[in-house]
Amino acid sequence: MLRLLLAHPGVRIGALTANSNAGQKLGSVQPHLLPLAGRVLEPTSAEVLAGHDVVFLALPHGQSAAVAAELGDGTLVIDCGADFRLEDAGEWERFYGSAHAGTWPYGLPELPGGRQALKGSRRIAVPGCYPTAVSLALFPAYGAGLAEPEAVIVAASGTSGAGKAAKPHLLGSEVMGSMSPYGVGGGHRHTPEIVQNLSAAAGEPVTVSFTPTLAPMSRGILATCSAKARPGVTAEGLRAAYEKAFADEPFVHLLPEGQWPATAAVCGANTALVQVALDEAAGRIVVVSAIDNLTKGTAGGAVQSMNIALGLPEELGLPATGVAP
Ligand SMILES: NC(=O)C1=CN([C@@H]2O[C@H](COP(=O)(O)OP(=O)(O)OC[C@H]3O[C@@H](n4cnc5c(N)ncnc54)[C@H](OP(=O)(O)O)[C@@H]3O)[C@@H](O)[C@H]2O)C=CC1
Ligand SMILES: CC(=O)N[C@@H](CCC(=O)OP(=O)(O)O)C(=O)O
């Protein structure tokens, strides 16, 4: 987030706050952020956050509501956590195990009606990284009525998706040279968020089988999504629906036919690459998308949403070109 905000011509960075690192200089925990290296991290309190036009929260799940409640309606609060993403309180409680805090406008502008919901808003819920990759891949097929309402998704994520806390399954020796699934069988908390987005696009309930996997890379998500094609769907009609959906999108690109997305191509960029095919033998639509989980999948999407909410040019300050190789 700070890397992006440092390059944003409309932003001046105010207080930087933390929890266990409060009192440390930012340079001691994030040495790459050189222009801010000497800044001291403050405790996350209402007094410290007061007076800012925009506050980005990037807290563990369940902690945003208390902080947001201290901030007036004049402050744009952008929550990178999950607390305000879901509309269904029952699904929140089932997957997160706590009381539902509420629902804020959802920070995925590319979804139908997405920009409208964000304009002028003073509260924004940034989507989860997998729901970003999957929703961008499948909403055009559902929006155009081309897919049956049962999606199967297998997605690989880099380890930064899990945050920085020490976890045994994220030790370098466990992750290097290996891929492994987790949250299998409908257990991952992003499942209801994906269901919410795809059902809204389809205008009917969509069921989702979602299997996340951990890949030996630090950044990136590659989502392979498929759904049975509705009768009469052709490869040309399918491609036309995707071309139409993304025609004016600054950050979502349908690749030329025959090219497939790769995570390296979007590293550091607020870009989603998408490709679609009709598997005629299987009667299925197959869509692959790639994003950087920390950019389009979190911080970039948050800044893009901020730009829209504040009436700034949507692309301002955001990199669209990946770092390669
Ligand atoms: N990583 C990803 O790909 C994605 C992450 N997100 C969301 O972004 C947010 C941040 O994720 P990420 O950076 O990966 O998480 P990390 O676990 O790496 O970092 C969480 C940060 O929150 C701080 N913190 C913890 N408790 C408190 C508290 N009570 N008050 C103030 N600060 C606190 C910690 O500060 P300290 O170090 O000082 O203790 C820590 O720096 C989360 O809400 C996550 O759900 C969303 C989409 C994708
Ligand atoms: C690799 C990995 O562990 N990824 C995280 C998803 C990170 C993310 O987007 O999620 P939230 O903002 O919802 O926490 C996970 O599966 O829990």
Cα of 290 vs centre of ligand 1, distance in Å, is 23
- How far is it, in rounded angstroms, from Cα 259 to Cα 36? 40
Q: What is the pTM of this model?
A: 0.97
Query: pLDDT by residue for the chain (325 residues), tens digit each?
Result: 999 999 999 999 999 999 999 999 999 999 999 999 999 999 999 999 999 999 999 999 999 999 999 999 999 999 999 999 999 999 999 999 999 999 999 999 999 999 999 999 999 999 999 999 999 999 999 999 999 999 999 999 999 998 888 788 888 888 899 999 999 999 999 999 999 999 999 999 999 999 999 999 999 999 999 999 999 999 999 999 999 999 999 999 999 999 999 999 999 999 999 999 999 999 999 999 999 999 999 999 999 999 999 999 999 999 999 998 8
Cα of 131 vs centre of ligand 2, distance in Å, is 10
129 is catalytic: yes
Q: What is the pLDDT of residue 163?
A: 85
**Where does residue 6 rank: exposed (0-12), middle (13-18), buried (19+ CB within 10 A)?**
middle
The pairing of strands 252-254 and 207-214 is unpaired
Q: What is the pLDDT of residue 83?
A: 97
DSSP line for 183-216: STTTTSTTHHHHHHHHHHHHTS--EEEEEEEE-S
Q: What is the pLDDT of residue 78?
A: 98
Question: Which ligand approaches the C-alpha of residue 210 most closely?
Answer: 2
Instruction: Evaluate: CB of 161 within 6 angstroms of ligand 2.
Output: yes
Question: Whose CA is closest to atom 4 on ligand 1?
Answer: 161
Under CATH, what is the fold of the domain 2-127+296-310? Rossmann fold (3.40.50)
Helix (H, G, I), strand (E, B) or coil at 147: strand
CATH numeric code, 129-293: 3.30.360.10
User: Would you say 130 and 190 are in contact if contact means Cβ atoms under 8 Å apart?
Assistant: yes
What ipTM is given for this predicted complex?
Answer: 0.94
Q: What DSSP character marks residue 264? A: G
The full set of domain ranges for the chain reads 2-127+296-310, 129-293
Instruction: Evaluate: CB of 147 within 6 angstroms of ligand 2.
Output: no
- How far is it, in rounded angstroms, from Cα 164 to Cα 155? 21
Q: What is the pLDDT of residue 321?
A: 96
Among all chains, which residue has been given the structure tokens 């699934």?
A: 181
- How far is it, in rounded angstroms, from Cα 147 to Cα 259? 22
Angle between helix 191-202 and helix 89-96 axes, rounded to 10 deg: 150
DSSP line for 265-301: GGTTSS-EEEEEEEETTTTEEEEEEEE-TTIIIIIHH
Instruction: Evaluate: CB of 157 within 6 angstroms of ligand 2.
Output: yes
Question: Whose CA is closest to atom 4 on ligand 2?
Answer: 161
Instruction: Evaluate: CB of 13 within 6 angstroms of ligand 2.
Output: no
Q: For residue 193, which atom of ligand 2 is closest to its CA? A: 13
Q: Which strands form 147-157's sheet, in the order they lie side by side?
A: 180-181, 207-214, 147-157, 221-229, 284-291, 272-279, 252-254
Instruction: Evaluate: CB of 128 within 6 angstroms of ligand 2.
Output: yes
- How far is it, in rounded angstroms, from Cα 49 to Cα 137? 36
- How far is it, in rounded angstroms, from Cα 225 to Cα 276? 9
